[in-house]
């Protein structure tokens, strides 16, 4: 009996075409083109998850530095002072604190300055 690769192959192709939804041109509806585009897109997505973490960390550092300089400290001196004072706040929290509660950030910065 002849076997037609009906269900399994169709399911595999449809999975790829579903991932290619929203692409332009033939990349959205031709399996071969879509497969190439989806593969590349997934590679970029994997890479850019790490890049996003990098970008956010640098953004937090810029914000902390700006807030620290209003108190009369540089970023590096603030971080060193926090380490000496054994205050373990990560950069995301420090950044949020600098934006939402400048007085609280100033208090923490003064503790770091004293240490």
Question: pTM for the full model?
Answer: 0.79
12 token code pair: 């595999």
For residue 53, report the phi and psi dihedrals to the nearest 5 degrees.
-60, -40
Nearest Cα neighbor of 98 from 58, 77, 71, 80 is 71
Nearest Cα neighbor of 20 from 40, 1, 5, 2 is 40
Length of the chain (residues): 115
Q: For residue range 63-91, what is the model confidence (pLDDT) as tens digits?
A: 999 999 999 999 999 999 999 999 999 99
Q: Which domains does the chain have, with CATH numbers?
A: 7-114 (1.10.1900.20)
Q: Provide the 8-state DSSP code for 88.
A: -
Q: For residue range 23-67, what is the model confidence (pLDDT) as tens digits?
A: 999 999 999 999 999 999 999 999 999 999 999 999 999 999 999
């Amino acid at each position: 009996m002849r076997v037609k690769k009906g269900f399994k192959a169709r399911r595999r192709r449809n999975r790829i075409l579903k991932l290619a939804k929203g692409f332009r041109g033939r990349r959205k509806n031709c399996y071969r083109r879509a497969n190439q585009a989806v593969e590349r897109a997934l590679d970029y997505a994997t890479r850019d998850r790490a890049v996003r973490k990098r970008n956010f960390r640098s953004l937090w550092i810029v914000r902390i530095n700006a807030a620290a300089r209003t108190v009369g400290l540089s970023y590096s001196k603030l971080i060193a002072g926090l380490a000496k004072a054994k205050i373990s706040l990560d950069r995301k929290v420090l950044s949020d604190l600098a934006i939402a509660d400048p007085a609280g950030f100033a208090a923490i910065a003064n503790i770091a300055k004293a240490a």
